Amino acid sequence: MKGSGRVLLAVLALMASFPSVAAEIAFSSAADFSEMSLELKRIDDPNPQTVELNVTLSPDAQRRLERATTEGMHKLLQVSINGIQVSSAMVGSVVRGPGLRIGVPREVARNLVPTLLEPLTP
């Protein structure tokens, strides 16, 4: 096998060792969330390095999330809100909503929260 063939095989083997990315689902807090609340601290929190964003998805956002999780079963799904990647998780089941809880690392929340407070445009 030529040198370039070996490199290609090594790259393919390396790619196979990582979970494949199903998709990135991008939400806009203004258009996709009909309600949202942020839980900053809980005494019995198993992961104090995250804050919890609880949202109610619009019907369109529910359909997009259901489609993304259906098509991405057992793959990595990256979630972004207002252009900021907030989490990635392995898809284990179809998510239908309307309620969604998103664990956001505190360092990411520092950048995300100001975007959630932006005035909503009509």
Q: In the predicted model, what is the mean pLDDT of residues 10-18? A: 44
Question: What pLDDT, on a 0 to 100 scale, did the predictor assign at position 11?
Answer: 41
Q: What does the pLDDT average to over 105-113?
A: 95
Three state DSSP letters for 41-90: CCCCCCCCCEEEEEEEECHHHHHHHHHHHHHCCCCEEEEEECCEEEEEEE
The answer to whether residues 86 and 79 touch, using CB atoms and an 8 Å cutoff, is: yes
Confidence of residue 16 (pLDDT cuts 50, 70, 90): very low
Is the pLDDT confidence value at 53 over 60?
A: yes
Check whether domain 21-116 has CATH 3.30.1360.200, yes or no:
yes
Question: Structure pTM?
Answer: 0.76
Let me know: does 22 contact 91? Beta carbons within 8 Å: yes
Tell me the per-residue pLDDT of 57-92, one tens digit each, with 9 for 90 and over.
Answer: 999 999 999 999 998 888 999 999 999 999 998 999
